[in-house]
């Protein structure tokens, strides 16, 4: 194995799922600009996630459509006439 290829500046970091406010603490080398007080009362660097295992449909078993830019509505509006022709 190659020597000195792994980072040495690991520290505790809180990752927060912004869709359901789930947070977990782990070691990471990621650089952050924000901090948060974790459940143990200590302050840690914060990394925000859009999705985690607590909100991902594969892990939850629930199908949840995440459409932040209205893409599904745009698609439906654009191809609505094709769907109407099929039902006739």
Strand partners, 47: 15
Tell me the whole-structure pTM to 2 decimals: 0.61
Q: Measure the CA–CA gap between 22 and 19, rounded to whole angstroms.
A: 8
Quick one: pLDDT at residue 74?
Answer: 77
pLDDT tens, residue by residue, 27-82: 999 999 999 999 999 999 999 988 776 776 665 666 655 555 677 777 777 777 77
Q: Measure the CA–CA gap between 76 and 83, rounded to whole angstroms.
A: 9
Per-domain residue ranges for the chain? Answer: 11-87
Q: Which residues contact 49 (CB under 8 A, 6 or more apart)?
A: 15, 16, 17, 18
Quick one: pLDDT at residue 43?
Answer: 97
Dmax (CA) of the chain: 68
**CB of 36 within 8 A of CB of 48?**
no
The arithmetic mean of pLDDT across residues 4-24, rounded, is 90
Residue 83 has pLDDT above 70, yes or no: no
Q: Measure the CA–CA gap between 88 and 85, rounded to whole angstroms.
A: 6
């Amino acid at each position: 194995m190659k020597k000195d290829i792994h980072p040495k500046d690991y520290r505790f970091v809180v990752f927060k799922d912004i869709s359901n406010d789930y947070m977990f603490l782990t070691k990471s080398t990621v650089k952050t600009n924000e901090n948060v007080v974790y459940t143990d009362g200590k302050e840690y660097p914060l990394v925000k996630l859009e999705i985690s295992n607590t909100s991902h449909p594969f892990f939850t078993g629930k199908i949840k459509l995440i459409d932040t830019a209205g893409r599904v509505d745009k698609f439906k509006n654009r191809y609505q006439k094709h769907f109407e022709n099929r039902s006739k």
